[in-house]
Amino acid sequence: MNGTHVTVRCRDCSLATVHETLRNARVALNDHESSTDHRVDWTIEAVDSGVSQAGADAGVCGRPECANADSPLVDPSPPESDS
């Protein structure tokens, strides 16, 4: 289970959706803003099990293959190798 998710909430209506990636959240946010001219916020949330997962997703070893492209923490660009 991936404990990290992104909640998208509209300031101007009752819209509230949850996405597993920041990329998907951004799509929903842009779609709602462009179609309604509302202002939308997102919040990255993580439950306890998501904390260690987020650390792994951050690419601690620095190798691109270790980075999880689906993690909002490494979007839009994965960490560069320092070698």
Closer CB to Zn ion, 23 or 38, in the complex: 38
Per-residue x/- mask for Zn ion, residues 6 to 45, rule CB under 5 A? ----x-xx-x--------------------x-x-------
CB neighbours of 37 closer than 8 A, spacing ≥ 6?
none
Q: Which two tokens stand for residue 3?
A: 């404990």
Continuous H helices in 1-83 = 22-36, 48-57
Provide, rounded to whole angstroms, the least separation between the CB of residue 53 and Zn ion: 30
Determine the residue type at 1: M
Instruction: Please give the size of the binding site for Zn ion, defined by CB under 5 A.
Output: 6
Provide, rounded to whole angstroms, the least separation between the CB of residue 43 and Zn ion: 15
- The answer to whether residue 47 forms part of the interface with Zn ion (CB under 5 A) is no
CB neighbours of 26 closer than 8 A, spacing ≥ 6?
42
Give contact residues for Zn ion (rule: CB under 5 A): 10, 12-13, 15, 36, 38
